A and B are shown apart, each in its own frame.
Chain A
């Protein structure tokens, strides 16, 4: 039996399973016994371990039941927060994500399983949360949050959880929350570090109060390029869920005007004190200038996703396709430099390539080392080719190297599309990540 037929059969069986489960939920809801305190017998049993806490009680559980929370981004933050919010019985959870599940998500995005690959994240997440708790309403939004839809979605919820992965969407969401008057529980993580804070809460600062100007796009790193450990981003996601519950229950300890740092390498948490609301803030100050959502991609100079755009820094004659490289160059004397990180190089690399990570390339010592390598082992080589994962860093690397090797007759070119193009066009057995 081939893979295609098996996958189709599994999909069909899953569809039937979902229908039966929905029928079962409906049947059970008809027979719910509602107590005078407002909780059903099922809810009393399900939430008993938290209801017996003095800070919660029946009153607190009813607040949680009547609360609505919007999770923006079903990623490494949104997945674990969703689990704990659904588990705690938040009555209505909205979950927004425009993207589909990919295999590279699964190490940290714990709402998805291998069989969800290719499915819309919002739908797979909603289904998983409803499987965990069928007495709550989960609303999936498979949309890209933008200036045209953000306010309409945000206004239907009490609290918003920022689990996004890019600067433009963070500004958008902040402004939407200020305009709609909703607290924003913001988390972020990269590599072994995480950050958490709460914006726009009872007169506290908003994201723009702290960051009136967006960062230069080249300083912003994403999980795909810099990496992230699941347990760290998960820690922040779980803490975001806890902050939401504290806000619903009106407990102290809200991270407004505070920034929590978590470093997963030295296992340290730091609680920093941030500035108060900025009276000159363009969106939440008394003389605000932003009364409608703006174009955030333009404002930030970067896209509202964490995918890398295809750069075009070099001229056509400074570049070569993988096909031409493979056919015309690979057997000729040349030097192939791979500018990915040492860890990526270790994952996979082309034969006879020399690894000089892009981050270390602009350091003159490394360029001098490269000059030495050329002089000693490649003195007849007049051709240097530079490769990376997708063909962006390789172009920047060519620029840097051309600035350094100004007085030589060395030709430096980059390989278009990097090792991704190599896999797609030359060698399909080469791994992709």
Chain B
């Protein structure tokens, strides 16, 4: 691993994992780059991690996360962290939660 590789943990819940090999936790090393933002990560995930390209709009719409999925970094809503502009730090935990409606 060179110095600028960025290790992070990506987790899914509420069904968002179905789009990602049904795995709820992924340890990822992002390729070297001076700076990774959360918005760039989401597009990178679409291009590199999404299993079923036909269904990418179930994850990303209009170049951002689709309505009904919450994005949290280290258990905090990305809205409180400048959303897509948030600069990812090594070992950040990024959680994508699809909202449940059953009951």
Contacts and interface: CB of A to CB of B under 8 A. Distances in A.
Contact of A223 (B55, B70, B97, B102): B102
Contact of B67 (A77, A216, A226): A216
A261 B70 CA distance: 12
Interface string B5-27: 00000000111001000000000
B100 interface: yes
B103 interface: yes
Nearest to A274: B77
A263 B13 contact: yes
B67 A195 contact: no
A190 B75 contact: no
Interface residues of A, number: 50
B79 A275 contact: yes
Nearest to A194: B100
B51 to A, nearest CB: 7
Interface string B53-73: 011011001000011101010
Nearest to B66: A216
Contacts of A22: none
Contacts, number: 111
B72 A272 contact: yes
Contacts of A223: 102-103
A163 B68 CA distance: 18
Contacts of B103: 73, 75-78, 163-165, 187-189, 223, 233, 236
A194 B101 CA distance: 9
Contact of A233 (B55, B101, B102): B102
B89 interface: no
Judged by DSSP, the binding face of B is mixed
Residue from A215, A218, A306 whose CB has the most chain B CB atoms within 10 Å: A215
> Chain B contact residues (Cβ within 8 angstroms of A): what range?
20 to 34
A211 B99 CA distance: 10
B68 A211 contact: yes
A222 B102 contact: yes
B70 A193 contact: no
B37 interface: no
Contacts of B77: 272-275
Of B77, B97, B98, the most chain A CB neighbours within 10 A belong to B77
Contacts of A96: none
B99 to A, nearest CB: 7
A75 B66 CA distance: 28
A190 B98 CA distance: 11
Contact of B76 (A190, A272, A359): A272
B1 interface: no
Contacts of A274: 70, 77, 79
Contacts of B58: 216, 218-219
Interface of A: 73, 75-78, 163-167, 170, 187-191, 193-195, 210-216, 218-223, 226, 228, 233, 236, 259, 261, 263, 270-276, 306, 359, 362-363
Given A166-B101, A215-B99, A362-B54, 6 more contacts: A165-B102, A188-B99, A188-B101, A219-B58, A219-B68, A275-B79
